[in-house]
A and B are shown apart, each in its own frame.
Chain A
């Protein structure tokens, strides 16, 4: 009896597990593993040539690619630092406000998270219209308030294009950390907070000394996700600046450069699969190592409740 059940379970296991595994292996594992090998071959279009060793990496680190690479890396790093600083603190503020407020929580939660469900294509075009130099309401409001000199072509000026993208990113994403932090806040044992309040601790002391340290697990997750998102930043820059990161490369990112190298672009012409794969390997290593190291470091300072 028992062995008949065992046999049936073995059959069920194969029948149910193999199809799922097959899809993952064929469409994720094999491409991910072979992408490594691509970087070590010469390519003509999508046709593989001979083994070239580290040639593609050497090319990536010399002119003209190195200039693009460094500029893109700089933009990704700025994006990470700025998004981490503003988006995360604003998310935390919204979470704490929702945690403290008694009335209308349901409505606020739904509204805070609403932009997260929007496609980045929709968000990108919406903000392109809002920031339009002539018809856009943002400039009209600025001019209406009496500062016409601050009304700018926000997305068309090399000085303001990247900051504008980061702002739009914040508008779309801030609800995500807010909800994650709110869940973290709700998981805190309220006895700690009550006890501190009875001991006469001030509002800000309670937040800094009790609540914030207990939020560390949420902060770890948000930091790692922000890091990955910032160094793989693609959709919003592509929708608003095209594959060349216009204006004048001011919004170029590593992922855009990877896309141009992989599939070619109007300006730079033909693709270069070899150098593109080398860049892909570089991005994957950077993101993988950064995320692993970051989460290990951050986890060490998490405290037990």
Chain B
């Protein structure tokens, strides 16, 4: 067997190992629970959409979904605004303390948020930000900011300084320079930061598990664990719930796969 055929075979086997479970999930979500229990492998020839209807209308699924959306988008906006500003200053100005502040921000990348969870819990309680979506937005932003600033300052640094001087001669203020001239040029960096930050936030369940208690504030991934207790052995409904939870990211990934791959491996892959 030639080596090319060998490698092709490996990739096809991997393709099946990845896609078959995903297909199984989607297929089973369109079958009635009893049907599934009798013949787990049969195709959903006559799609049973009622599973999806039940997920959406019976449980708290809709509110879980909206909470995850609010928290993810809220964090993303805060991260992008703060990282653009800090990245601009650190990447383009030379001032005393620049390197020191940059180094301090980088140490933030080394601190695992999970292990500081106890002081954070008590601190959020004290700040009245426990069991609050806003509290979670701050914690996620803080965890993502060091890497986000690192990425953005790299993008700002790579732009020619002539741009700044030309804009200044034309009478632009520093804010105008940032907003009108530089921000449009660092959009690829913003895309990387957005994906790098948003995917782990959307997928996270640990921080909501610890910080959110009210049922109406629960996020999607946290809610799934509740949902699985409620609908134990109602397979069709469970699979429909999983599909709904996974679908937004799958769709986005299929459209923006290159940006996803770049964003999620940022830090491990140079360039």
Contacts and interface: CB of A to CB of B under 8 A. Distances in A.
A51 interface: no
Contacts of B142: 23-24, 26-28
B257 A110 contact: yes
Interface string A105-135: 0011111111111111110011101100001
B139 A27 contact: yes
29 contacts: A8-B173, A12-B93, A17-B90, A21-B105, A26-B138, A32-B111, A34-B119, A46-B122, A94-B11, A96-B7, A108-B15, A109-B257, A110-B254, A112-B18, A113-B261, A119-B205, A121-B245, A122-B242, A125-B224, A127-B21, A129-B238, A130-B24, A135-B36, A183-B271, A203-B3, A222-B268, A262-B121, A280-B115, A287-B112
B260 interface: yes
Contacts of B90: 17
Nearest to A13: B89
Given A125-B238, A125-B242, A117 B264 contact: yes
Interface of B: 3-4, 7-8, 10-11, 14-15, 17-19, 21-22, 24-25, 28, 36-37, 40-41, 78, 82-83, 85-86, 88-90, 93, 95, 101, 105, 108, 110-123, 125, 138-139, 141-143, 145-146, 149, 168, 173-175, 199, 202-203, 205-206, 210, 221, 224-225, 228, 235, 238-239, 242, 245-246, 249-250, 253-254, 257, 260-261, 264-265, 268-271
Contacts of B88: 16
Contacts of B224: 121-122, 125
Given A28-B116, A109-B261, A122-B246, A12 B89 contact: yes
Contact of B146 (A24, A98, A110): A24
A46 B125 CA distance: 10
Nearest to A281: B115
Interface of A: 5, 8-10, 12-13, 15-17, 19-21, 23-24, 26-32, 34-35, 38, 46, 93-94, 96-98, 100-102, 104, 107-122, 125-127, 129-130, 135-137, 140, 171, 176, 179-180, 183, 187, 203, 221-222, 225, 228, 232, 234-235, 238-239, 255, 258, 262-263, 273, 276-277, 280, 283-284, 287-288
Contacts of B239: 129
Contacts of B143: 27-28
A239 B225 contact: yes
Nearest to A104: B11
A101 B143 CA distance: 38
A111 B139 contact: no
A110 B258 CA distance: 8
Nearest to A242: B225
B24 A17 contact: no
A12 B168 CA distance: 14
B11 A23 contact: no
Nearest to B117: A262
A246 to B, nearest CB: 15
Given A30-B119, A31-B119, A258-B115, A183 B269 contact: yes
A127 B18 CA distance: 12
Contacts of A287: 112
Contact of B118 (A93, A107, A273): A273
Given A117-B260, A129-B239, A46 B174 contact: no
B93 A20 contact: no
A-B residue pairs, 5 tightest by C-beta: A16-B85, A27-B142, A119-B203, A97-B7, A31-B116
Most-contacted residue by chain A among B36, B89, B115, B268 (CB, 10 A) = B115
Nearest to B228: A125
A140 B40 contact: yes
A17 B11 contact: no
A17 B269 contact: no
Nearest to A288: B110
A198 to B, nearest CB: 18
Given A112-B14, A135-B36, A179-B265, A117 B85 contact: no
A187 B93 CA distance: 31
A101 B4 contact: yes
A29 B108 contact: yes
Given A119-B203, A121-B205, A126 B21 contact: yes
Nearest to A282: B115
B5 to A, nearest CB: 10
B112 to A, nearest CB: 6
B7 A116 contact: no
B86 A121 contact: no
Contacts of B121: 46, 262
Given A98-B11, A110-B254, 10 more contacts: A9-B95, A12-B174, A17-B85, A23-B78, A23-B138, A100-B4, A102-B4, A107-B15, A119-B221, A280-B118
Given A20-B85, A129-B239, A111 B119 contact: no
The CB with the most chain A CB atoms within 10 A, among B3, B238, B261, is that of: B261
